[in-house]
Amino acid sequence: MKIKNGSIVLDDVDLNILEALQENAKQTYTEIGRKLGIAHSTVYDRIRKMETYGIIKKYTTIIDIERIGLKNVTAVMTIFTDPKQSEKVARKISEFPQVLEVYTSLSEELLIIAKVVADDQESLHSFIANQVAPLPGVLRIRTSIVTKKFKEGIFPLSGNSISKVKFINSRFKIGEEINE
């Protein structure tokens, strides 16, 4: 990892370390180093730098809630808003614990798309009717209940044609050639 012109530039070693962590974040620095053919101290130093600069946000555990007996309803809400209020609505929706992901999309209209979980359909309805719909700027809401999940994943670093990744103000610029 280098810092050039105020931007963070990751090299192939950094990307390989990130890929190894995505596969198994419990690996030791020695195990990662052995797989990549580099010293464990290099792995340690690079991971610490990526943590310091916010590239690695956190380490977490993905739990299969169905296997431990928890049932829930997952839904995708499409929220149509007054364009002047969209950012404010998206920020407010992001604060609710039932909301897992929030995106804005500009197609024919400015939309907010949110992935939501609830204990059951009743609590989902209550959440939408009592907390989302009354927000200033919300015009209408379209909700799709997920009936079957085929895939859930994370952004894959391998398998993409990313030769280099450049972080500018904590945002990806992918596919841009970087002259070192």
The predicted-structure confidence for 141-173, as pLDDT tens digits, reads as follows 999 999 988 887 777 776 554 444 554 444 444
What is the rounded average pLDDT of the residues 61-65?
Answer: 77
Query: Which helix (H) or strand (E) segment is 73 a member of?
Result: strand 73-81
What is the rounded average pLDDT of the residues 98-110?
Answer: 87
Closest of 84, 65, 72, 78 to residue 128, by C-alpha: 78
Residue 158 pLDDT: 63
Beginning with the edge strand found earlier in the chain, give each strand of the sheet holding 2-4 in spatial order: 2-4, 7-10, 165-168, 171-174
Residue 174 pLDDT: 39
Structure tokens at 22: 């995505």
Residue 6 pLDDT: 75
Residue 175 pLDDT: 40
Is the pLDDT at 29 greater than 90? The verdict is yes
Residue 95 pLDDT: 97
The overall average pLDDT reported for the chain is 84
d(CA 50, CA 38): 17
pLDDT tens track for 73-96: 999 999 999 989 999 999 999 999
What is the rounded average pLDDT of the residues 39-52?
Answer: 94
The torsion angle over the Cα atoms of residues 55, 58, 62 and 63, rounded to 10 degrees, is: -160
User: Which comes out higher in pLDDT, residue 176 or 73?
Assistant: 73
Is the pLDDT at 12 greater than 70? The verdict is yes
What are the structural domains of the chain?
A: 2-61 (1.10.10.10), 73-145 (3.30.70.920)
